[in-house]
Amino acid sequence: MIRRFFRKYKGLLILIRSPSFMKLKILTFNWHEPYLCLLSRMNHEFLVVEPEIAPDHYRKWDKNMRTVPDNVCLISMEQALENLEQGEIDCIIAHNVKDLIEVRDYSLPKIMVFHNCLTTEIKLGNDKVNRKDYLKKITPLFEGVTKIFISELKRTDWDMKGEIILPGLDVSEYGGYTGSEKVVLRVGNLLKERDLMMGYSFSEKVLKNHPLLTLGMNPGISESRISDGFSDLLNQFQNNRVYINTTVDGFEDGYNLAMLEAMATGMPVVTSENKTSPICDGINGFSSNDPDHLNRCIGNLMQDSLLAKEMGENARKTVVEKFPINKFIQSWSRGVELAINDFLKRTGIDLQGDVTPFADKSRKNILMDFFSYPATTAHYMERALRQHHNVMTCGAQINDEIKKCWNLEALNWEVTPQDILRENATPLKQVLDQLPHGWKPDFYFWIETGLSSLPTDLQEYDLPKVCYLIDTHINYEKHVNIASHFDFTFLAQKAYVEKMKDAGIKNVFWLPLACDPDIHGKVEQEKTWDVGFVGTIPETRNRRKTLLEKIGSRFNLSCERKFMDEMAEHYSRSKIVFNNAINNDLNMRVFEALCSGSLLLTDGASGSGLEDMFENRKHLIIYEDENIENLIAHYLDDAKERELIAEQGRQEVLKNHTYAHRAENLMNVLNREVELYAKDSNDMEK
């Protein structure tokens, strides 16, 4: 469930105008201390989460790798969520998919840094993950996320669009190379375990009997040790003769941050060949895929300190030319600015006074007004519209008193607070005054829930006004009055479209109810009872109660008052789902039951449009009161035919009758009609 934080975007707007002067509060995660230290050079305030990597086990900041910069504050995930809830975060930088999952519910500028190749990660996991399936699964997490790759190799491997920002170093912080110790230096974590990308086995063939110091967390290498802090690391760069790198071409870049730091210090590098390596053979180091040749090159450097210093100085110049810190900081500052600009644009913040015609705006700003509680058309339409548009909601929300009064105590679903509170007596002006600066609605969308009234000042505002009326079959006169205040009226009940037009209401359209597959979808489980029903059964006798009593006297019938996913589960456990229309309405139960994958048994609801959308005995079964028992008996006996029709009905609603389809239909009508209506209104005024 998306939480919306349209708080003080003044800070973000200032950044756009003067990025070098504005400090942001950036949330990120502790997976790579040296890289986070580089990011901290942007001088923003960084809140760094120490993530949980196993139950009650956290990846704490390793001070042996780097000291914590002054503008970095280490926090827990709980503290991060508290900051997010309070609207204190300006931007999020994620370093892996796990990070994105942690913050998926928060609408903020987000950046994803791709440090590794997906191919490499899958191979290291013994190919247990199917690349295509994995990308399909995680792609929704990347929606609206600015992508930054640390190299061209990473971008090519992930096959995604995004900016490339190479690492950057300030060489003035390094230097002092002497190479006094005739020792080869190797730096990295889990070298043996990640042989596929780090080339550990190749490095062993190269090294042979040369003296070696390995730094890093390497439980598989007995002689490896962890550095005693950055000063110790720098000391090893300065004093050991040569640095070895064997990262594997195609699985990793021909360098990493440790290697660049060695070069910045003035160390020569011996490396395996890699298309992305900054090492030019014989100039700033030696490069070859022949381990014996590289072994001899190490021997030459051990014997010739002047050659080592000469190559090391060239390596240092390479870092200055190809990996400058200023370019890194500038590129990252632009990346943050790009993420913020894209976020503002995507969420409808307009700073330039956009005059794009209504129909040409692919992503519209929609101000929705409804009483917030789940299991309503408004709830489902909001979910659907948010997929492709910028939605701000206003209205009140359900409370325990209303739940009791409306017999909704069984509603076990989180109620989403509205972006802006609007009680029934609150005028629209108060809502508009609370919208974020630069966020102008393209239209106002009021949806009937039975608990809210129209703003008294609605007619004072010149913007398209749209309403969606659900229960016209029991509130016709009231709905005619409501529709008279709107430019466009959508009805869930087809039978009243022409009748309302005849009553003088212009621009009336049919928009049937639908299903939400994420909530109403099929639950794979054993069918427990013959017939299931979810809904209200009155105390007094009426047609619905009579039919249910008739069914219950002969078959195993389960009647419940359930909502949302619990309702879908009940339907999924039913061999047959019973539906009964009120005043021939086309109700939500039709679409929700079909979505569950159980056979729907429904009355014809003459004039409702049911048979315009579904075919009897292909997608569902239409009964007459007199033959309902025979139909139930038949489809209980013929399980094969029952399940075939049920599945065909499910496929039909998934293909054509979800709330995503209704949202698309709504927008198609408005795209076609809004400009025409505005033109006709202007002509009438003339």
Express each pLDDT in 186-209 by its tens digit: 999 999 999 999 999 999 999 999
- Contact between residue 418 and residue 395 where contact means Cβ atoms under 8 Å apart: yes
382/572 Cα distance (integer angstroms): 25
- Contact between residue 591 and residue 601 where contact means Cβ atoms under 8 Å apart: no
Specify the higher pLDDT residue, 597 or 681.
597
Q: Find the DSSP H helices in 347-475.
A: 377-386, 400-405, 428-433
Give CATH for domain 171-323. 3.40.50.2000
| Per-residue pLDDT, 375 | 81
Q: Tell me what the mean pLDDT of segment 84-108 comes to.
A: 93
Q: Find the DSSP H helices in 178-323.
A: 195-198, 200-207, 230-239, 257-265, 291-303, 305-322
| Per-residue pLDDT, 1 | 30
Kindly indicate the confidence band of residue 4, based on its pLDDT and cuts at 50, 70 and 90. Answer: very low
- Contact between residue 344 and residue 418 where contact means Cβ atoms under 8 Å apart: no
**Burial degree of 54 (CB within 10 A; 0-12, 13-18, 19+):** exposed
Least confident of 341-350, 367-376, 613-622, 677-686: 677-686
pTM of the model: 0.68
| Per-residue pLDDT, 59 | 95
Q: Find the DSSP H helices in 427-509.
A: 428-433, 476-483, 497-502
The CATH fold assigned to 358-514+661-685 is Rossmann fold (3.40.50)
Start-end of CATH 3.40.50.2000 domains in the chain: 171-323, 358-514+661-685, 517-657
Sign of CA dihedral 427, 429, 430, 434: positive
Superfamily of domain 517-657: Glycogen Phosphorylase B; (3.40.50.2000)
| Per-residue pLDDT, 367 | 97
> HSE on the CB side for 255, CA within 13 Å?
26
Q: What is the mean pLDDT of the chain?
A: 91
Here the tokens at position 155 are 């971008």
| Per-residue pLDDT, 26 | 97
Architecture of domain 10-164: 3-Layer(aba) Sandwich (3.40)
- Beta pairing partners, 74: 48
Q: Tell me what the mean pLDDT of segment 85-102 comes to.
A: 94
| Per-residue pLDDT, 675 | 87
Q: Tell me what the mean pLDDT of segment 223-244 comes to.
A: 95
Q: With 60 as the cut, is the pLDDT of residue 12 above it?
A: no
| Per-residue pLDDT, 563 | 84
| Per-residue pLDDT, 381 | 96
User: What DSSP assignment string belongs to 328-383?
Assistant: HHHHHHHHHHHHHHHHHHHTTB-SS-----GGG-SS-EEEEE--B-SSSHHHHHHH
Least confident of 87-91, 263-267, 612-616: 87-91
